Amino acid sequence: MRILPVPRILQVQETQVPGPTGKINIVEVQFEYITTYDPPVGEIKVNGTVMFQEAENIRKQLLDNWKENRQINPEIGKEIIYRMSQQAFLVMMNLARELNLPSPMPLRIQTPGEEVAP
Protein backbone atom coordinates (compact mmCIF):
# COMPACT_ATOMS: atom_id res chain seq x y z
CA MET A 1 0.00 0.00 0.00
CA ARG A 2 1.27 3.45 -0.89
CA ILE A 3 0.64 6.25 1.61
CA LEU A 4 1.10 9.84 0.49
CA PRO A 5 0.86 12.69 3.05
CA VAL A 6 0.73 16.08 1.28
CA PRO A 7 0.89 19.41 3.14
CA ARG A 8 -0.53 22.46 1.39
CA ILE A 9 -0.40 26.08 2.48
CA LEU A 10 -3.73 27.79 1.87
CA GLN A 11 -3.18 31.33 3.16
CA VAL A 12 -0.41 33.45 4.67
CA GLN A 13 -1.31 36.69 6.42
CA GLU A 14 -0.03 39.01 9.09
CA THR A 15 -2.01 39.32 12.30
CA GLN A 16 -1.53 40.56 15.85
CA VAL A 17 -1.74 38.63 19.09
CA PRO A 18 -1.63 39.95 22.65
CA GLY A 19 1.81 39.84 24.24
CA PRO A 20 3.24 40.81 27.64
CA THR A 21 4.11 44.33 26.44
CA GLY A 22 1.28 44.90 23.97
CA LYS A 23 0.35 43.46 20.62
CA ILE A 24 2.86 41.34 18.70
CA ASN A 25 2.91 41.05 14.90
CA ILE A 26 3.03 37.45 13.69
CA VAL A 27 2.44 35.55 10.48
CA GLU A 28 -0.55 33.22 10.47
CA VAL A 29 -0.28 30.28 8.06
CA GLN A 30 -3.47 28.37 7.28
CA PHE A 31 -2.85 24.88 5.94
CA GLU A 32 -4.41 21.59 4.99
CA TYR A 33 -2.73 18.21 5.27
CA ILE A 34 -4.16 15.42 3.13
CA THR A 35 -3.11 11.79 3.31
CA THR A 36 -4.19 9.58 0.42
CA TYR A 37 -3.90 5.83 0.18
CA ASP A 38 -3.29 3.69 -2.92
CA PRO A 39 -5.27 1.53 -3.44
CA PRO A 40 -7.91 4.11 -2.49
CA VAL A 41 -9.16 2.75 0.84
CA GLY A 42 -9.57 6.16 2.44
CA GLU A 43 -8.34 9.72 2.76
CA ILE A 44 -7.55 11.85 5.80
CA LYS A 45 -7.76 15.64 5.60
CA VAL A 46 -6.78 17.97 8.45
CA ASN A 47 -6.98 21.79 8.38
CA GLY A 48 -5.12 24.01 10.81
CA THR A 49 -3.26 27.22 11.52
CA VAL A 50 0.37 27.79 12.46
CA MET A 51 1.46 31.01 14.15
CA PHE A 52 4.93 32.05 13.00
CA GLN A 53 6.89 34.79 14.80
CA GLU A 54 10.16 36.00 13.33
CA ALA A 55 12.14 39.22 12.90
CA GLU A 56 10.39 42.03 11.01
CA ASN A 57 12.49 41.61 7.84
CA ILE A 58 11.82 37.84 7.65
CA ARG A 59 8.07 38.36 8.22
CA LYS A 60 8.00 41.02 5.51
CA GLN A 61 9.90 38.79 3.06
CA LEU A 62 7.58 35.87 3.80
CA LEU A 63 4.45 37.98 3.28
CA ASP A 64 5.80 39.66 0.12
CA ASN A 65 6.80 36.31 -1.46
CA TRP A 66 3.36 34.91 -0.70
CA LYS A 67 1.52 37.92 -2.13
CA GLU A 68 3.63 37.98 -5.31
CA ASN A 69 4.05 34.27 -6.14
CA ARG A 70 2.04 32.33 -3.54
CA GLN A 71 5.35 30.72 -2.60
CA ILE A 72 7.48 30.60 0.53
CA ASN A 73 11.26 30.77 0.84
CA PRO A 74 12.50 27.14 1.20
CA GLU A 75 14.43 27.84 4.42
CA ILE A 76 11.40 29.34 6.16
CA GLY A 77 9.17 26.79 4.43
CA LYS A 78 10.98 23.89 6.11
CA GLU A 79 10.22 25.33 9.55
CA ILE A 80 6.58 25.98 8.65
CA ILE A 81 6.12 22.45 7.22
CA TYR A 82 7.73 21.02 10.37
CA ARG A 83 5.27 22.92 12.59
CA MET A 84 2.34 21.93 10.37
CA SER A 85 3.40 18.29 10.62
CA GLN A 86 3.68 18.50 14.40
CA GLN A 87 0.11 19.78 14.65
CA ALA A 88 -1.47 17.57 12.01
CA PHE A 89 0.15 14.17 12.53
CA LEU A 90 -1.21 13.50 16.00
CA VAL A 91 -4.74 14.18 14.74
CA MET A 92 -4.11 12.15 11.58
CA MET A 93 -2.73 9.20 13.55
CA ASN A 94 -5.83 9.15 15.76
CA LEU A 95 -8.14 9.40 12.73
CA ALA A 96 -6.27 6.58 10.99
CA ARG A 97 -6.66 4.39 14.06
CA GLU A 98 -10.40 5.17 14.32
CA LEU A 99 -10.93 4.48 10.60
CA ASN A 100 -8.76 1.35 10.71
CA LEU A 101 -6.34 2.78 8.12
CA PRO A 102 -2.54 2.41 8.11
CA SER A 103 -0.56 5.13 9.89
CA PRO A 104 -0.11 8.28 7.79
CA MET A 105 3.38 8.84 9.24
CA PRO A 106 6.03 8.59 6.51
CA LEU A 107 9.21 6.75 7.37
CA ARG A 108 11.37 9.35 5.65
CA ILE A 109 10.68 12.84 4.29
CA GLN A 110 12.37 13.49 0.97
CA THR A 111 13.51 17.03 0.20
CA PRO A 112 13.41 18.37 -3.38
CA GLY A 113 16.40 17.15 -5.40
CA GLU A 114 17.28 14.41 -2.92
CA GLU A 115 17.35 10.82 -4.11
CA VAL A 116 16.05 8.06 -1.88
CA ALA A 117 18.22 4.96 -1.68
CA PRO A 118 16.47 1.74 -2.80
Q: Is residue 106 part of a domain?
A: no
Instruction: Quickly list H helices, 1-118.
Output: 56-69, 74-99
Range of the domain at 29: 2-99
10-residue stretch averages of pLDDT, the chain, 118 residues long:
90 92 92 93 94 88 92 87 88 92 72 61
Q: Is residue 40 part of a domain?
A: yes
Domain count, the chain: 1
Q: Which residues contact 27 (CB under 8 A, 6 or more apart)?
A: 12, 13, 14, 15, 51, 52, 53, 54, 59, 62, 63
Q: Is residue 115 part of a domain?
A: no
- For residue 75, the model assigns a pLDDT of 85
Q: Is residue 47 part of a domain?
A: yes
Q: Is residue 110 part of a domain?
A: no
Q: Is residue 64 part of a domain?
A: yes
- For residue 34, the model assigns a pLDDT of 93
Q: Is residue 108 part of a domain?
A: no
Give the global pTM.
0.77
